[in-house]
Amino acid sequence: MTQGGPQISSALETRRSGAIGAPVLAIESSCDDTACAILDADGRVLAERVHTQREHDAFGGVVPEIAARAHLAALPGLVEATLRDAGLSAPDLGAIAASTGPGLIGGLIVGSGVGKGMALALGLPFIAVNHIEAHALSPRLPGVVQGGAPFPYLLLLVSGGHCQCIAVEGVGRYRKLGGTIDDAAGEAFDKVAKMLGLGWPGGPAIEALAREGRDDVHPLPRPLLGRPGCDFSFSGLKTAVAQRLAPYGAGALPRRDAADLAASFQTCVADVMVDRAAHALDLLPEATTLVVAGGVAANGAIRARLMALASERGLPFAAPPLRLCTDNAVMVGWAAIETMRAAAGLGRWPFDDTAVRPRPRWPLAEMAERFDVVR
């Protein structure tokens, strides 16, 4: 990150005193959702728009090159529409933020490129947002937890590409307690849904089908259940589902059998999630809250089980609203606001992230460098 210095334009220098009090435009393009949002300085959402790419449906998963082209086609109009929805024009903004990693590199290049271009043209700060940090800070959005989730809290991040237990100790201060050693939970949902002949994405389809079935019909494994630590593994569970399907051959699976298998799979994932989260709480006894975020957090059965765990531990449970569990620009804008506030508190505002390059991998541990935090 470049902080201050000659790379900040004279226009930015002129407007910097009011930047933190003005609205922030945020862009999210790390996977297959193109999203824009505008938040005021207090984190209230003035406008938000999401364009979900349907170009990938025929492939049963995200095709990176198609995703990048779709972001490029959708984003300019989406930015204009979001500004219009908020009743603002570009000069009313105080900063531009965009997901700059981790994620699919093509989409990150498009989103951050549009954000940087706008910031340079308007003489505004550009905030490079770590997509995982945006998820991690989302429970502090106004209205999610009364007064905001206080640090430190335990974050269980479960999505198509990530499955981690993270100690969130402050803005820029994160400690990974455990993570997946193979498939992420959302990836397992997608693959099992494909085996069952369901649509993509698989999570909502399996959850809907599971409501029709019994979860005690198929004795599936629960990988790492009861083991020390809080790592995850779902590859063996996915293989076990495939083995259960093998006797049916290539023919269509009877709906009752499919429903029972979906319910059994979903319960196995929930059992593993609860067990791993319990172990993570043992590693973070000072946790103030149990937080779940990411696309899989929208699964009602898993969310209910984690809520019960929090209650057993005497902790509040927090999860973003369902629309903010999946990739969205609101959390990106909020992460930028938290970053700006923290930097200002340290006397390190304004700074310019224009030199920060998009990255397919961006470990959370590196975010401490933004404020020279000694870990």
Tell me, yes or no, whether 245 and 268 share the same domain: yes
106-129 confidence digits (pLDDT tens): 999 999 999 999 999 999 999 999
Final residue before a domain boundary, out of 278, 303, 319? 319
Choose the final residue of a domain: 279, 304, 319: 319
Domain co-membership, 157 together with 244: yes
Same domain membership, residue 119 and residue 175: no
CB of 168 closer than 8 Å to CB of 338: no
Pair of tokens at residue 125: 């700060």
Q: Same domain, yes or no, for 156 and 283?
A: yes
Determine, yes or no, domain membership for 24.
yes
Q: Is residue 146 part of a domain?
A: no
Which pLDDT score, from 0 to 100, does residue 284 have?
97
Residues 22 and 60 in one domain: yes
Report the binding-site residues. 131, 135, 157-161, 190, 203, 207, 299, 327
Per the annotation, where are the binding residues for substrate? 157-161, 190, 203, 207, 299
Clarify whether residues 40 and 165 are in a common domain.
no
Claim to verify: residue 304 and residue 329 sit in the same structural domain: no
Confidence (pLDDT) at 276? 97
Give the CATH number for residue 33.
Answer: 3.30.420.40
Residue 143 lies in a domain: no
DSSP of 156-205: EEESSS-EEEEEEEETTEEEEEEEBSS--HHHHHHHHHHHTT--SSHHHH
Structural domain harbouring 264: 152-319
Annotated binding site for Fe cation, which residues?
A: 131, 135, 327
Q: What is the pLDDT of residue 294?
A: 87
Task: Indicate whether 2 belongs to any domain.
Answer: no
What's residue 372's pLDDT?
A: 63
29 and 121 share a domain? yes
Tell whether 72 and 128 lie within a shared domain: yes
In the listed set 319, 339, 360, which residue is the last one of a domain according to the structure?
A: 319
Host H or E run for residue 45: strand 45-52
Q: Concatenated DSSP letters for 276-288? A: HHHHHHHH-TT--
Exposed e or buried b for every residue in 260-294, given b needs 16+ CB within 10 A? bbbbbbbbbbbbbbbbbbebbbebbeebbbbbbbb
| Residue ranges for the chain with pLDDT beneath 70 | 1-19, 56, 58, 60, 371-375
pTM of the model: 0.89
Count of domains observed in the chain: 2
One domain, residues 55 and 198: no
Q: Are residues 179 and 294 in the same domain?
A: yes
Report long-range pairs for 366-369 (Cβ below 8 Å, ≥24 apart).
367/130, 367/133, 367/172, 367/173, 367/174, 368/172, 368/173, 368/174, 369/1
Residues 166, 65, single domain; the answer is no
**Exposed, middle or buried by CB within 10 Å (0-12, 13-18, 19+), for 142?**
middle
Indicate the Cα dihedral angle 142, 147, 152, 156, nearest 10°. Answer: -50
